[in-house]
Amino acid sequence: MTPDTQPTPDRSGAMSRGIVGLLALCLFINYLDRGNLATAAPLIKDQLGLTNTQIGALGSVFFLVYSPGHILAAWVIARINPYRTLALGLCIWSLATVLSGFATGFAMLMLLRVLLGLGESAGMPASSKLLAQHIPPEKLGSANAAIIAGIYLGPAAGTFLGSMIVAHLGWRPLFFVFGAASLLWLVPWWLATRHASAAAAEPTTWVEPGIGVLLRKRQMWGAAIGAFAGNYVWFLLISWLPLYLVKVQGFSLQEMGALAGLVYLLSAGLALIFGWLSDVWMRAGASSQRVRMTMVCAGSVIGIGSMLGCALGNAQVAIASLLIFPIANGLGGFNLYAIGQTLAGPRAAGKWIGVQNAIGSSSGIVAPILTGMIIDRTGSFSLAFVAAAVIGVVGLLAWIFLVRRVEPIDWVDAGQSYNPIARKA
């Protein structure tokens, strides 16, 4: 391999189908487990005597570890490969979920949310690295959509099933059941990837661009800001939607679970539809630039409108806006990662998504605690939704003026040097 040669990805169809299915299931479990706190929040808040700000802080502390944890995950991926990194992360977050059922107060819950964030940070960098290696560009839409559908279905199943468990058994069994069940994923993952994982651990003749190189790219900052804005609304809903529906709209736990679950279910279904349409569009001759930017910008506009509807409308308008928001999720979620994978290419996808998500998911630090503070000070969710809409506008501008074009970056021209030590190995 010459210094200028990019790594050749393995994009066999059989490998692609197996990897995508298990990755989607893994991210489903990832979001199923992280959403347990929000589902159980109405009971945990009362039984442990927590304030709205403390509930928000539990959501924020998760992201204080989860966000920078993406950089650590990218480092681990480069050393033990993405297959093993994903399995290790799942073990850590499953243990944290089970132990959360034993929590007796705010401090213990906060410690376990830190552990949960550390484990779950492996999910997107590892899966994006694998997709970039195994999936051709014209199929990245549906592949990422399958994973995003898993992310949306996790809260849907977690809210629906979790609300029933909490209503009949209390909040502690919710963590016991979901945490223990998560570990079962390791069996099919090991069976399907043990040979590929061993091959991936062999020395390579190329090196990834350094984080400093990535941070000097305008496209990185545009994608990261766009991710921050899109994730802000998503994390606001994951953290506060159950409490909003119960305390503000007067829903029962079962009704809350049904409506919140419907929002997530619609998001998953629309992501699969739009992902398939994006692949069809590209196979018909459209460029990544046209497909990805059209969809991600349209999703941003719809998301902004939905948040304003929740903030300024009556109860009926607010509920309708929540049901429209899945269109924004369906258009934007999978394209966020497909854009990053396209820009970075197989060589740098793991590290790119690690950095992009480290910055983008930091909105999960801000959204829960800022929302809690706004509610405590104003006694209303309205200003919290307005703040989400304003942040959405900033994200839209970042996609348009910073990312600009969705096309692979030439890492040699970007200053990534050849590593003779790696070649010798």
Which band of pLDDT confidence, cut at 50, 70 and 90, is reported for residue 338?
very high
Q: In this structure, what token pair is assigned to residue 374?
A: 């706004």
Q: What is the pLDDT of residue 362?
A: 86
Burial of 203 (0-12, 13-18, 19+ CB in 10 A): exposed
Least confident of 11-20, 324-333, 398-407: 11-20
User: What proportion of the chain, given as a percentage, has pLDDT over 70?
Assistant: 89
Q: How far is CA 422 from CA 1, 3, 200, 233, 370, in A?
A: 11, 11, 14, 42, 46
Q: pLDDT digits over 169-207, tens only?
A: 888 889 999 989 999 999 999 888 887 776 665 555 556
Evaluate if residue 60 carries a pLDDT over 90: no
Tokens 């560009």 belong to which residue? 137
CA distance 336 to 338: 6
Mean pLDDT of 103-112: 90
What length does the chain have?
A: 425
Mean pLDDT of 202-222: 80
Question: What letter would DSSP give residue 208?
Answer: P
For residue 90, what are the contacts with CB-CB under 8 A and spacing of at least 6?
26, 29, 30, 119, 122, 182, 183, 185, 186
Mean pLDDT of 113-119: 93
Evaluate if residue 300 carries a pLDDT over 90: yes
**pTM score of the predicted model:** 0.79
CA proximity to 90, closest of 24, 26, 20: 26
Mean pLDDT of 375-388: 88
Name the superfamily (CATH) of residues 13-197+208-424. Answer: MFS general substrate transporter like domains (1.20.1250.20)
Average confidence score pLDDT of the chain: 84
Mean pLDDT of 59-86: 87
Least confident of 239-243, 406-410, 411-415: 411-415
Which band of pLDDT confidence, cut at 50, 70 and 90, is reported for residue 414?
low
Q: Where are the domains of the chain?
A: 13-197+208-424
